[in-house]
Structure 1
């Protein structure tokens, strides 16, 4: 599977890539495997718990928790697209991924990531309607409207993913089949092509920039109105509850948008692929692990639902 050093690959080599992952010997790889596995298990258990609690507790059957359940589902899929293959490669000497597997991984990674960006903006809009227009909220955010917003997020994610995947995997990979990353991402893939990638980079940075800027504006405008409304609230308890609920979402937004912006929407922000790998670990593994903790630890309704679920399990 290794490439010829004259710049050309054999037909066999073109059928697969090699994910180089992180540098280091067996001991380093074993430590990374243990770290990734621990974080992934916490992410899976945390997001599955959030999905189960929101599904089973009738008191959480509201638009806000409907969106939160979808966020947990996205985080679960987001990390599961990347981490199992990375874990297998830590214990493998070949680290091979076929061309089809690489394209599939890239497609679903892009789909989940873009959808999550739009869903976070939708959640900000939901908070805006709940705080600033409570009388119209039940009509504006009815179940069918919520379903359409989630479906629209997935459609936007699918459009971007199809575009990015088709642009990237139509390129000729003839300089090397070694991807300097632990998963199939656009930046390391563009580095191993033997053609001018200016158009691809323009599409990538343009689309990512447009998505991040657009969704960020929705979040900022929504929370601008929310802040003004909260400051007008006379009840200290009500103000604290609103800040607590919105604060959890703002924390999730800051973590996700910040890392994605550094990696994809700001050319040259990441000086080396080693730095890029660290940033990638953060948004593919750490953030999906943190989101359930952020929303459960700072949300009284979720904590109460977890307590009631625990009591039911003990009773049975």
Structure 2
């Protein structure tokens, strides 16, 4: 692709496995099978949760949310990967790149927090089992999932928006897909605000989730 300076180019080149052209066809078959299995598996979990009353419990509710996030990621990233493996055109349009950027950041940040919510459910089920139905009320579970999604959305809006405003210089090529750290490497301007946003937004969320998991399992181990 022609070398240029722009706030955000019209397209990017996704290198992928371009250096190993002979691998693309066999690899596309493997990716396609994995893609279908993942779609069927996550869709089946969501369907069973909706139609089977015995599965409509907090633990399965949060797993259902994880399945939805997985579907969002594979539908935006793996679909483009398959298109690149099957064809000679390795480019992705600007709107597709921006979609990947926002969806991947949103899903990734939310998936950091949801495991902590699942751990809280385990803690209440084991350590507060007599009050489990009262504490883990369906509306409380919805609020916990909404808080996870809201945190991921806020982090995604800040990081992705700052990223697409960077002036990108040179050859607009990416190894895999449109992601914050990869796009930041293409910037020819000051990336300090982006680095600060990444530290302020991502690290506290990850550390908070990890800390909640550790504390919950300490109490669970003590109860057992």
* Structure 1 residue 186, shift from structure 2 partner: 1.4
Candidates 123, 129, 138, aligned match of 1:143:
138
* Structure 2, unpaired ranges of 5+: none
Q: Does 1:225 align with 2:219?
A: yes
* Structure 1 residue 14, shift from structure 2 partner: 2.2
Instruction: Give 1:192's aligned residue.
Output: 186
Q: Is contact 1:9–1:176 with CA below 8 Å preserved after alignment?
A: no
* Structure 1 residue 110, shift from structure 2 partner: 0.8
Helix, strand or coil for the counterpart of 2:216? helix
Candidates 28, 33, 37, aligned match of 1:33:
28
1:10-38 Cα shifts (integer Å, max 9, x gaps): 89x92111111124333211122122112
Cα gap change, 1:57/1:186 in structure 2, threshold over 3 Å: closer, same or farther?
same
Instruction: Give 1:249's aligned residue.
Output: none
Q: Does 1:201 align with 2:200?
A: no
Work out the CA distance in 1 between the residues paired with 2:177 and 2:9. 17
Greater RCO (Cα-Cα under 8 Å, separation 6 or more): 2
Q: TM-score, normalised by structure 2?
A: 0.93
Q: Is contact 2:73–2:104 with CA below 8 Å preserved after alignment?
A: yes
1:30-72 Cα shifts (integer Å, max 9, x gaps): 1221221121111111111211222222211211111121221
Q: How many positions carry a matched residue from both structures?
A: 224
Q: Is contact 2:76–2:99 with CA below 8 Å preserved after alignment?
A: no
- In the TM superposition, 1:61-80 aligns within 5 A as 61-80=56-75
Query: Which structure is larger by alpha-carbon Rg, 1 or 2?
Result: 1
Work out the CA distance in 1 between the residues paired with 2:73 and 2:93. 20
Work out the CA distance in 2 between the residues paired with 1:98 and 1:47. 28
* Structure 1, unpaired ranges of 5+: 231-316
Work out the CA distance in 2 between the residues paired with 1:17 and 1:140. 49
Helix, strand or coil for the counterpart of 2:92? strand
Q: Is contact 1:107–1:162 with CA below 8 Å preserved after alignment?
A: yes
* Structure 1 residue 9, shift from structure 2 partner: 4.3
Q: Does 1:175 align with 2:166?
A: no
Instruction: Give 2:123's aligned residue.
Output: 128
Q: Is contact 1:67–1:123 with CA below 8 Å preserved after alignment?
A: yes
Q: Does 1:92 align with 2:87?
A: yes
Report the RMSD for the aligned CA atoms in angstroms: 1.8
Q: Detail structure 1 runs of 4+ shifted over 4 Å in the superposition.
A: none
Q: Is contact 1:176–1:193 with CA below 8 Å preserved after alignment?
A: no
Instruction: Give 2:205's aligned residue.
Output: 211
Q: TM-score, normalised by structure 1?
A: 0.67
* Structure 1 residue 78, shift from structure 2 partner: 2.1
Instruction: Give 2:2's aligned residue.
Output: 3
Instruction: Give 2:103's aligned residue.
Output: 108
Helix, strand or coil for the counterpart of 1:14? coil
* Structure 1 residue 207, shift from structure 2 partner: 2.1
Candidates 114, 118, 138, aligned match of 1:119:
114
* Structure 1 residue 151, shift from structure 2 partner: 0.9
